[in-house]
């Protein structure tokens, strides 16, 4: 990854991986990330999705060019059990197809146009080459960006897709992106489903997990909830517009990472950084990069 990442990379001590110190006994203990002021992750939300069609290789490439530290991949599963990069359970919003992903084979989904919708919706950012972009599989994303990239993967609607977690781990293992000696950390897995995360934790306790949350009103979190999240995850992600500084500080007091989503305006980015978040998701990773640069230069 880029030199900036060396400044913000979670050290091997984050969860004990990479140092060889995790054993089967320790793995059962609550994970305990060590945090420093420099661990600010710039997560390219669905790639640089403010500029290019989300969850396409083009969007992911742009996210990397704009110094995103992680490629965020939302997963859905096809009728024939393949994991694809797509946010919705349905094809309608981001392709010219219609209906549920799970009712189509990968071959059928590969025939769809996953780019033209963006040109129609965002004419200011439209480009001819976006028309006809294809839906990538998780394997294609990993093959394209390789083991030097970092992946922030979400199990979407896992209750709809039995076996999603096993399939995901199988792919990560095949491409050698898991294991106690992996750098901390090539892969973060996130989900709104505690059941999905706990299943992954049981299958491979060495993979760092992030519990996603959604708040309809002002966010509040209890000590009991934080204690529970710590038993299987190293951090939390939530909609940024419902949290305040007290919320951020409470999460940090429990030594958990906090990565709010989806933060697109520089003013909000600055505010969250002042509150003490350890990273954030943005459709415009170049904007966050500029904010981090300006912040570093004022200290």
Catalytic residues: 45, 87
Q: How far is residue 127 from each of residues 51, 118, 119, 123, 187, measured CA to CA in Å?
A: 10, 9, 7, 8, 31
Do residues 253 and 282 lie in contact, with contact meaning Cβ atoms separated by under 8 Å?
no
Q: What distances in angstroms separate CA 107 from CA 21, 110, 136, 268, one per listed residue?
A: 43, 5, 11, 41
DSSP string, 261-283: B---SHHHHHHHHHHT-SEEEES
CA 150 to chain centroid? 10
The phi-psi region of residue 291 (left if phi > 0; otherwise alpha if psi is between -120 and 50; otherwise beta) is alpha
Handedness of CA 282, 285, 287, 292 (dihedral sign): positive
Picking from 88, 89, 101, 94, the residue whose alpha carbon sits closest to that of residue 56 is 94
Q: What is the DSSP letter of 20?
A: T
Strands 70-77 and 41-44: parallel
């Amino acid at each position: 990854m880029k030199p900036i990442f060396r400044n913000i990379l979670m050290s091997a001590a984050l969860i004990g991986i990479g140092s060889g110190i995790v054993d089967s006994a320790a793995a059962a203990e609550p994970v305990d990330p060590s945090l420093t002021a420099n661990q600010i992750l710039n997560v390219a939300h669905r790639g640089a999705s403010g500029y290019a069609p989300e969850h396409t290789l083009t969007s992911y490439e742009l996210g990397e060019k704009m110094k995103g530290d992680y490629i965020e991949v939302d997963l859905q599963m096809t009728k024939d059990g393949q994991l694809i990069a797509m946010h919705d359970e349905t094809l309608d919003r981001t392709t010219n197809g219609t209906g549920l992903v799970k009712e189509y084979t990968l071959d059928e989904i590969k025939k769809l146009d996953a780019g033209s919708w963006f040109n129609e919706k965002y004419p200011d950012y439209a480009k001819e080459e976006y028309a006809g972009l294809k839906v990538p599989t998780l394997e294609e994303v990993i093959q394209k960006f390789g083991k030097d990239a970092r992946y922030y993967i979400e199990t979407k609607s896992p209750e709809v897709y039995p076996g999603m977690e096993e399939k995901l781990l199988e792919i990560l293992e095949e491409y050698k992106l898991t294991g106690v000696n992996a750098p901390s950390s090539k892969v973060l897995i996130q989900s709104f489903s505690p059941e999905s995360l706990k299943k992954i934790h049981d299958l491979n306790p060495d993979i760092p997990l992030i519990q996603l949350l959604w708040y309809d009103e002002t966010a509040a979190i209890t000590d009991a909830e934080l204690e529970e999240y710590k038993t299987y995850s190293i951090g939390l992600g939530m909609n940024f517009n419902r949290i305040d500084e007290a919320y951020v500080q409470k999460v940090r007091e429990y030594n958990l990472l906090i990565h709010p989503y989806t933060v697109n305006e520089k003013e909000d980015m600055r505010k969250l950084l002042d509150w003490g978040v350890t990273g954030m998701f943005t459709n415009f990773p170049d904007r966050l990069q500029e904010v981090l640069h300006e912040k570093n230069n004022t200290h």
